[in-house]
Structure 1
Amino acid sequence: MKFSLFFEMQIASPTPATERKLFHDCVEQAVLADRLGYHAVWAVEHHGLREYAQSSAPEVFLAYVAARTENVRIGHGVTLTPYRYNHPMRIAERVATLDILSNGRVNWGSGKSGSRTEQRAFESDIPTLGAQWLEAQRMIPRMWQDEVFEWDGEFFTIPPTQVVPKPVQQPHPPMFAACSTPSSAREAGALGLGTLNFAAGTQKKLTKRVQEYRAAVASADPVGGAVTNHYACTPMSIVLDDDRRACEYGFRGARYFWQSQLKYYGSENRPIGPLDADSGPLPEDELRTAMDDRLAPDVPLTGVIGDPAACREQIARFADAGVDELILVMQLGTVPHEIVLESIRTFGERVLPYCG
């Protein structure tokens, strides 16, 4: 199994000063992950989701990380692909440029965005987002491979054009899709795409979902020049030598993550101003329940939280379900930078050598 880091660039109650510090902190975290042998760093693209995700220009962040690192892969997780967000040609050009500058380390993921905040801010035609996304999936790998690209589709008509530059990786960087449901994971598999999933559901349900994805990949009609057979999950994670201390930070951060996500994705309303999400410590009874339930077989697999021994047990359940990569969400809105660094280091030294 591979282990990576996931960056929403999340921050509770930001100010200009703390937001500025956040970006530099995330770079430091990514550089440490590279030194410790993590597989990849992935960054989201979101717009207007204040506090939940300040990562609105991941192509800039990832380029800076690529220049500061040597081995870690550079993941777009994901680029918003419908054309009001990003034109497919601009995506192809930017990703190829990043692949060149990183010496072939790019993973490219794509998505539609399920947030009304983003959809309305960019004046998207919401009913056609899925069709726009699918057309872009078919176009972009062709732009990377064809000397002269042309297209006459539902949303795009492009005359013969030489799309440059071309990526280093052949036939092109591995392609992934954001998946929030079992059906979307199956769709990704049928298109020959790797799948990026939030960690959720019991081990039994996750195993079934992975199996369905593998079956879809086995009979894929790939949109690109190669099939990416890869199932990744993004669990919340804090790993420290002291189990209780790790859980205090980890479950507090996970609660803030899920609550803040629901504010933007759980209703039609667009939050403006301070986000109403719990950022304080968990009550003792809630913390104890969360700690006790971590390894219960029928509890959803949503985190890798605790001391190294507990985390190795949690990872084993993901591995048994057939997951290829855990993209750990350590940078959580309520967790101090120093704790995130300690967690990255503890995992890298005390877990990664035994589970990688």
Structure 2
Amino acid sequence: MKFSLFFEMQLASPTPQSERQIFLDSVEQAVLADRLGYHAVWAVEHHGLREYAHSSAPEVFLAYVAARTERIRIGHGVTLTAPRYNHPIRVAERVATLDILSGGRVNWGSGKSGTRTEQHAFQTDVPALGEQWLEAARMIPRMWRDEVFAWQGKHYDIPPTQIVPKPVQQPHPPLFAACSTPVASREAGALGLGALNFSAGTQTKLTQRVQAYRAAVAKAEPVGEAVTNHYACTPMSTVLMDDRKACEYGFRGGRFFWQSQLAYYGGEDRPLGPLHTDSGPLPEDELREAMDARLAPDAKLTGVIGSPEVARAQVDRFRAAGVDELILVMQMGTVPHEIVMDSIRTFGEQVLPHYA
């Protein structure tokens, strides 16, 4: 089983100073993860989602991380892949360049964004986004393969063009897709793509979802030159030697994460200004209830939060469900940098080696 870090660049009550600092802190966190043997760092692409995600230029952040690290893989989780966000030629060029500069360490995930904020800001054709994404997902691996690329489709008409550079990894970097629903996971499998999923649901439901993905992969008609049979989840995570302290910070951060996400993904509104999420400590009764529910048989698998012992028990449930990689969301909007660093270190030293 593989363990990675997920970066949204979240900020509760952001200021210009704290916004600058979160990028520097995230680089330091990635460098520590590299030293401790984590598998990858993944960065999102979002636009205009103040507080929830300030990672609007992941290609810059990931290139900087690649230069500061040696072994850890560099993941786009994901590039918004529709023409109004990023033209497929530009995606192919940037990912190939990053693959060269990182020495062949890139994982490339793609998606289309589910927020009205981004869809409207970029003046997208919302009903066509799914078709545009799929057409781009089929094109980009061919751009990396063909010396001269040409395409005539429903949404793209590209004359014969020499697209350079080409990536280091052969036949190309592993391909992934954002999956927000069970249907999306099956669709990703049918296309031969790795599945990037938010963590939700019970162990039983997650097992069923993974099995459906594997069945789809087994019959895949891949969009690329190779199948990426890989199921990843993104649980919220804070792991410290002090179990209660980990829960105080982890569940508080998790509450901010979900509330801020819901503000942008939960309806037709496009929030402006402060989100007014709950960023203070959890009441004692809510904290105790959350701690007690972590390992209940029907508990939702949304986090890896607590002491190393508890974290290992939670990881075991993901592993039993068939998950290949946990992309740990440790950088949450209310969790201080020093706690994130302690959590990365504690997990890396006390949990990760048990699954090497």
Cα contact 1:196–1:232 (8 A) shared by 2: yes
Alignment partners' CA distance in 1, 2:276 and 2:212? 37
SS at match of 1:151: strand
Alignment partners' CA distance in 1, 2:278 and 2:266? 16
Identify the residue that residue 278 of structure 2 maps to in structure 1.
278
TM-score under structure 2 normalisation? 1.00
Identify the residue that residue 49 of structure 1 maps to in structure 2.
49
SS at match of 2:41: strand
Unaligned runs of 5+ in 2: none
Alignment of 1:246 with 2:249, yes or no, is: no
Identify the residue that residue 354 of structure 1 maps to in structure 2.
354
Q: CA RMSD in A?
A: 0.4
Aligned pairs for 1:180-219 (under 5 A) are: 180-219=180-219
Identify the residue that residue 298 of structure 1 maps to in structure 2.
298
Identify the residue that residue 260 of structure 1 maps to in structure 2.
260
Unaligned runs of 5+ in 1: none
Query: How far did 1:104 drift?
Result: 0.1
Query: How far did 1:276 drift?
Result: 1.6
Identify the residue that residue 344 of structure 1 maps to in structure 2.
344
Alignment partners' CA distance in 2, 1:239 and 1:130? 37
Query: How far did 1:207 drift?
Result: 0.2
Cα contact 1:312–1:355 (8 A) shared by 2: no
Alignment partners' CA distance in 2, 1:276 and 1:118? 20
Alignment partners' CA distance in 2, 1:245 and 1:347? 14
Deviations 1:80-128 (A, max 9, x none): 0011000000000000000000000000000010000000000000000
Query: How far did 1:275 drift?
Result: 1.1
Deviations 1:220-275 (A, max 9, x none): 00000000000000000000000000000000000000000000000111110111
Query: How far did 1:168 drift?
Result: 0.2
SS at match of 2:263: helix
Query: How far did 1:355 drift?
Result: 2.2
Alignment partners' CA distance in 2, 1:180 and 1:158? 31
Identify the residue that residue 309 of structure 2 maps to in structure 1.
309
Identity score, percent? 79
Identify the residue that residue 28 of structure 1 maps to in structure 2.
28
Cα contact 1:46–1:53 (8 A) shared by 2: yes
Query: How far did 1:297 drift?
Result: 1.4
Aligned pairs for 1:104-183 (under 5 A) are: 104-183=104-183
SS at match of 2:11: coil
Identify the residue that residue 327 of structure 2 maps to in structure 1.
327
Alignment of 1:80 with 2:80, yes or no, is: yes
Cα contact 1:5–1:40 (8 A) shared by 2: yes
Give the total of aligned pairs: 356
Alignment partners' CA distance in 2, 1:296 and 1:178? 28
